[in-house]
Structure 1
């Protein structure tokens, strides 16, 4: 059955392949965003240009879309406005949350949707949790919460900082940092693989008033991820392992992405979403997962190779001081 779908966002890291998948499934798709991304939308998609906080946003309710997919709301005030706008005016409201909401450290090494949403380290995750609670308390809105984990398309998976700078450091034969001993399992999912079960949740009665994560079933240790990136770039990774607590002392802003996310094991049980949206598979080799991000990286570096700056100076200092430990 063809549905009328609105993507709020629709051109981002995760949302663009979801738009493509929805179009391929025969749905009538509209996207609402600022219209500033260079990537062309698939044929047949209606572009609605506007600001998330703009007065024109409320006009979207008049269309009474079958599904509204909210990809760019990050704070409770944004979701509170969505509840006001779309309650009673859409068949299903899908909020993109984050798998980083799950408790840190997890009480069990395999994460399910029953894992509590408690993250005391990262304001980003805390805001997503607050958004989820607003939806759970809402009236007259059929909501679904979706929690992606680390999902890749254009950006390379690194633990902190700017991925293009880290890649440039690899290409220049300079050391890069991995938090911990590099053996922590981490889940990487391609956006195109995420899109299949995501679209399978559209107007699915079993998806209403419930939360699901959508991730790869397979995890990779961080050392292997970084070595694969370097190998695909044609160089050798020069990894320096640094304890997470030490990194946070160098830069307190890293407490969120490290202590609040990538410093922990991330292995997910996807059986819940598979029972509702149907079975799906994800690319299970790093070469396949990283192929598209590497291609995008090469295009960016050809157009604008990032210069050395303060981030490089900090990474150099950390690597130098960590490598000097234990020397006579």
Structure 2
């Protein structure tokens, strides 16, 4: 361990209240670590931090604010959920590097080359993504950190989550609005033909892998994806939710490349083209070798029951968004108009 055997590991989370990070913070506290969270001073909307967590207020995008927030402090590990591009990597090296023995950079499994030419994906699968700007920014972030490690010994560990969810954030494009449409019996647009294979991971399972890497000197300079072994087609994902709601799904299939046409400003549109439309199956051998406790505990068909229970307990936080509902309706309308247009081209009998 990087900490003295007699002292608990000290960890600083940058972010700490999001879908993935909140579960990591909770598990770190449960395992006896001294945990601090640095953000702009607010808890997550639906995720309270444990009372034992120290709150540090600072703006991670402002080098001076960040330096002031941790002045005179040191941590065995800093886990950065907000790092994005090379400028933020350079800031992490300059400002955070002197304060930690391990900097854990949260990147993304979207960096693996699309389309994937061989599965399962391993950490040595080529990285590039010509379709997704988010993935390209994460690749620049990784490259800058790797340079710092190779040239100066910056103690980085790179972690790549794939599609990770928790009870308050379902893994469906459109979030609770989609679930509301399913429950109402409305038609749901599904990208592609619904048969691409997709890996989804509950944040509580991800946390076991992430927390298990903290303080491990053998993890320095290494890259890991931390994903589950729970693989479904997209049709199966939507169908699992529908049947948990006690209804049959009404799915229509929309070509992925048409999402940016109908909804150019929607967060998910670029993701359909550059990530979600491609099958993603991962080999988790490496993280299991470093963290033997890591594994799939929450399969999606069981986690859905927890999500729907959370929905019942938090109706104000899970209501449909009218704008998103209208957007999904436009995609369904587009599907039917396209079908009518193709039917009109059919040769007459």
Name the TM tier (shorter chain): over 0.9
**Distance in 2 between the 1:193 and 1:241 partners?**
31
Equivalent residue for 1:316? 332
When residues 323 and 188 of structure 1 are mapped into structure 2, their CA distance, relative to the original with a 3 A threshold, is same
Equivalent residue for 1:64? 74
**Distance in 1 between the 2:252 and 2:24 partners?**
36
When residues 235 and 10 of structure 1 are mapped into structure 2, their CA distance, relative to the original with a 3 A threshold, is same
Q: CA RMSD in A?
A: 2.0
- Residue 96 (structure 1) shift: 0.3
Equivalent residue for 2:347? none
When residues 163 and 69 of structure 1 are mapped into structure 2, their CA distance, relative to the original with a 3 A threshold, is same
When residues 278 and 303 of structure 1 are mapped into structure 2, their CA distance, relative to the original with a 3 A threshold, is closer
Matches for 1:72-87 after TM superposition, within 5 Å? 72-87=82-97
User: Residue by residue, what CA displacement relative to the aligned partner does 1:226-279 show, whole Å, maximum 9, x if unpaired?
Assistant: 011112223221100122233343334555211211000110001011111224
User: Residue by residue, what CA displacement relative to the aligned partner does 1:163-184 show, whole Å, maximum 9, x if unpaired?
Assistant: 2221221122111111122111
The reply to whether residue 149 of structure 1 matches residue 180 of structure 2 is: no
For residue 210 of structure 2, the aligned residue among 195, 198, 214 is 198
SS state at 1:88 partner: helix
For residue 21 of structure 1, the aligned residue among 12, 24, 27 is 27
| Most deviating of 96-105 and 177-186 | 177-186
Equivalent residue for 1:33? 39
**Distance in 1 between the 2:71 and 2:339 partners?**
57
Contact 1:189/1:289 (<8 A) preserved: no
- Residue 3 (structure 1) shift: 0.7
Tell me the TM-score normalized by structure 2.
Answer: 0.87
**Distance in 2 between the 1:228 and 1:185 partners?**
15
Gaps of 5+ in 1: none
Equivalent residue for 1:244? 256
Equivalent residue for 1:42? 50
**Distance in 2 between the 1:321 and 1:248 partners?**
17
For residue 123 of structure 2, the aligned residue among 113, 118, 123 is 113
- Residue 284 (structure 1) shift: 5.8
The reply to whether residue 270 of structure 1 matches residue 278 of structure 2 is: no
The reply to whether residue 133 of structure 1 matches residue 147 of structure 2 is: no
- Residue 311 (structure 1) shift: 1.4
Tell me the TM-score normalized by structure 1.
Answer: 0.92
For residue 247 of structure 2, the aligned residue among 235, 244, 247 is 235
Matches for 1:171-182 after TM superposition, within 5 Å? 171-182=183-194
Gaps of 5+ in 2: 345-349
- Residue 134 (structure 1) shift: 0.6
**Distance in 2 between the 1:23 and 1:74 partners?**
26
* Higher Rg of the two aligned structures: 2
User: Residue by residue, what CA displacement relative to the aligned partner does 1:118-142 show, whole Å, maximum 9, x if unpaired?
Assistant: 0111111100000000100112420
Equivalent residue for 1:225? 237
SS state at 1:257 partner: helix
When residues 283 and 184 of structure 1 are mapped into structure 2, their CA distance, relative to the original with a 3 A threshold, is farther
